[in-house]
Amino acid sequence: MLDLVILIISIILQIIAAVIILKLIFISGKRLSWVMLSTALLLMVVRRILAFVSFTWIHNPEAIFYYRFAGDVIGLLISLLMVFGAICIVSIFSSLQHSEKDLINAKSELLEGKLLNDNIINTTIDGVLAVDEAGKVFFCNKQFVSMWQFPDLVINTRDSNKYIASAMNALKNPEKFIAQIREFHVNKNQKSRDEVEFKDGKVFDRYSSPLIDHNGVCYGRVWFFRDITDHKKAEAEIQNRLIYEGIISQIARRLSELSFFEIDAGINDSLGIIGRLIGVDRASIYLFAEDGKTAEKRYRWQTEEIASIEQKEIFEQNSFPLLNMVLTNVGSFQVQDVSELTDAWESEKKIWEEANVRSILCIPLYVEHKYIGFSCFDSIRKKISWNENQTSFLKTIGEIIAGLIRKKTGGQLEQLAQFDTLTGLANRYSFNLMLTRTIAFASRRKLSFALLLVDLDNFKKINDTLGHDVGDLLLKEVGVRLSSCIRTEDYVARVGGDEFFITLAGIQECQDACITAQRIIDSFNNEIRLNEQVVQITCSLGIACYPADGDTKEQLIKNADIAMYQAKNTGKNCYRMFSADRV
pLDDT digits (tens, 9 = 90+) for 335-347: 999 999 999 999 9
Query: What CATH number is given to the structural domain containing 194?
Result: 3.30.450.20
Query: In the annotation, is 498 catalytic?
Result: yes
Residue ending a domain, among 416, 443, 476, is 416
Are residues 434 and 568 located together in one domain of the fold? yes
Residue 19 pLDDT: 66
503 and 451 Cβ atoms separated by less than 8 Å: yes
Residue 409 pLDDT: 43
Residue 540, classed as helix, strand or coil, is strand
Alpha helix (H) ranges present in 156-228?
160-167, 174-186
For residue 298, the enclosing domain spans: 233-416
Mean pLDDT of the chain: 82
Are residues 358 and 269 located together in one domain of the fold? yes
End-to-end CA distance of the chain: 92
Are residues 241 and 194 located together in one domain of the fold? no
Residue 24 pLDDT: 55
> What are the DSSP E strand ranges found in 262-318?
282-288, 294-302, 314-316
Structurally, how many domains does the chain consist of?
4
50 and 64 Cβ atoms separated by less than 8 Å: no
Residue ending a domain, among 416, 439, 463, is 416
Residue 235, classed as helix, strand or coil, is helix
What would the pLDDT profile of 212-227 be if each residue is shown by its tens digit? 888 888 899 999 999 9
List for the chain the helix, strand, coil content (%; round to 5).
55, 20, 25
Tell whether omega for the bond before 547 is within 30 degrees of 0, i.e. cis.
yes
pLDDT of 91 strictly over 60: no
Q: Around 182, how many Cα atoms within 13 Å sit in the side-chain half-sphere?
A: 6
What would the pLDDT profile of 221-275 be if each residue is shown by its tens digit? 999 999 999 888 888 888 888 888 888 888 888 887 776 668 888 899 999 999 9
* Amino acid sitting at position 129: L
Grade residue 532 by pLDDT with cuts at 50, 70 and 90: confident
Active-site residue (options: 498, 512, 561, 581): 498
CA distances from 266 to 410, 479, 536 (A): 15, 31, 41
Residue 12, classed as helix, strand or coil, is helix
CA distances from 17 to 88, 356, 480, 558 (A): 17, 90, 100, 78
The Cα–Cα gap between 77 and 522 comes to 99
Grade residue 26 by pLDDT with cuts at 50, 70 and 90: low
Which residues are CB-contacts of 555 (< 8 A; sequence separation ≥ 6)? 544, 549
Are residues 266 and 352 located together in one domain of the fold? yes
Query: How many CB atoms lie under 10 A from the CB of residue 499?
Result: 19
What would the pLDDT profile of 168-184 be if each residue is shown by its tens digit? 989 999 999 988 888 88
Are residues 259 and 396 located together in one domain of the fold? yes
Query: How many CB atoms lie under 10 A from the CB of residue 341?
Result: 16
